[in-house]
Amino acid sequence: MARIIHLSSQTPQQIVNACWQFARAVLWAEQPIGEQEQQRSIALIRQHLDYPVITESSFICFCERILLAREAQLTGQSGYLSQPSVWLHPNYQEGYTGTRQAYDQMLLRRAAVPGYREEYMVFSKHYYRYALYARTCAIAACRRKLLRLKAYGLLTLLYRAIIYCKLSH
């Protein structure tokens, strides 16, 4: 069952910004992104997260789908990565919308094989806690678990996401 978080009016926007910084750090880290592009992308993320009532599960789903998109990009299963506002648009099937099938398949495999892609869940849950409470203990716990899972590549992404998140405040 998804937890619904009712917090201050600033918190949903804070969560949306954290999602944007996560997506940017994972998929567009090397690209300069203008203010208008960023605002369009944030507006699209709001739609994906069902703003203003954002559940922990929708945040985790968003992050895991971003990680799956990165994986597809690295393995050559995905084509050119377009600009964020295009990639995040609900009608663009080669973008975020297109990650739904891979995400659903991952969930089915998790149900059949406990621990499948556990590192994605660990990363996303701890990043959520960091985005919500800005406590370094969430990052330390995530680091320990990712090291235990030997998910060294995700550690770099974790650090980059934290840096982007910190710079945006």
Mean pLDDT lowest for which of 9-18, 102-111, 137-146? 9-18
Q: Judge if pTM exceeds 0.85.
A: yes
Q: What is the pLDDT of residue 10?
A: 52
Q: What is the pLDDT of residue 88?
A: 92
**Residue (of 23, 3, 6, 11) closest to 134 by Cα position:** 11
Outline where DSSP puts E strands in 61-114. none
Q: Could you tell me the pLDDT band of residue 51, with boundaries at 50, 70 and 90?
A: low
φ, ψ of residue 93 to 5 degrees: the values are: -70, -20
Do 49 and 16 meet the contact criterion of CB atoms below 8 Å apart?
yes
Tell me the C-alpha distance between 3 and 29, whole Å.
31
